């Protein structure tokens, strides 16, 4: 019994320097081990209408997203991604792609309203030190949306990063 209790106290990941334990929901672990909408090596990046990339020097995460847009409605038909980073970065990018493409896909305007909190909630939570991964996913999408706006002559819709 005590062994099981200690196992639970260790968390899913323990920082070797601080001893801090991080716990991940089953949903977050599933998106890390079985990511959705990942851009496979045999897929052509040129088949997409827009691309956005963001990186965080402090943690080393880099996220890249590709969008396939239905021009008349601006509905996102596909969102593919590749992320170089930790499990939280992979899980948040995967979940973001699910939120954007489920039920026939959101419009660009709807997807731009997705918050890091929404992504984190859908993952069943993240360790506090990993919330920035959800922020990066939203920012990578904004970069891709801005790329689409540039390519379609909609410069007035470009979102400036603060």
Q: What is the CATH number of the domain that holds 68?
A: 3.90.1010.10
Asked, for residue 35, whether it belongs to a domain, the answer is yes
Q: Bigger pLDDT: 86 or 19?
A: 86
Query: Would residue 11 count as lying in a domain?
Result: no
Label residue 114 by pLDDT band (50, 70, 90). very high
Query: Per-residue pLDDT tens for 39-62?
Result: 998 889 999 999 999 998 888 899
Residue among 77, 57, 55 at smallest CA distance from 66 = 77
Does 162 reside within a domain?
Answer: no
Assigned domain for 116 exists? yes
H and E: helices and strands count for the chain? 6, 5
In a domain, 89, yes or no: yes
Is a pLDDT exceeding 50 seen at residue 82?
Answer: yes
Tell me the catalytic residues. 59, 133
The total number of structural domains in the chain stands at 1
**Structure confidence by residue, pLDDT tens digits, 118-151:** 999 999 999 988 999 999 999 999 999 999 999 9
- Between CA 99 and CA 119 the distance in angstroms is 8
pLDDT grade for 14, boundaries at 50, 70 and 90: confident
Q: Quick one: average pLDDT of 17-35?
A: 89
Instruction: State residue 78's pLDDT score.
Output: 97
d(Cα 147, Cα 12) in Å, to the nearest integer?
Answer: 37
Residue 8 maps to a domain: no
Is residue 55, in this structure, part of any structural domain at all?
Answer: yes
DSSP element (H, E) containing 111: helix 108-111
* pTM for this prediction: 0.87
Domain that holds residue 133: 25-154
């Amino acid at each position: 019994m005590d062994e099981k209790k200690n196992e639970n106290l260790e968390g899913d990941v323990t920082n070797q320097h601080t001893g801090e334990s991080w716990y991940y929901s089953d949903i977050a672990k599933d998106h890390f081990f079985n990511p959705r909408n990942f851009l496979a090596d045999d897929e052509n990046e040129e088949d997409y209408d827009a691309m956005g990339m963001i990186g965080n020097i402090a943690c080393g995460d880099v996220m890249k997203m590709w969008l396939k847009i239905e021009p008349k409605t601006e509905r996102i038909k596909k969102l593919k991604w590749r992320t170089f980073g930790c499990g939280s970065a992979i899980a948040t990018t995967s979940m973001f792609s699910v939120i954007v493409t489920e039920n026939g896909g959101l419009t660009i305007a709807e997807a731009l309203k997705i918050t890091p909190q929404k992504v984190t909630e859908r993952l069943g939570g993240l360790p506090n030190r990993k919330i920035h991964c959800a922020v990066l996913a939203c920012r990578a999408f904004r970069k891709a949306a801005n790329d689409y706006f540039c390519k379609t002559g909609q410069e007035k819709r470009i979102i400036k990063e603060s």
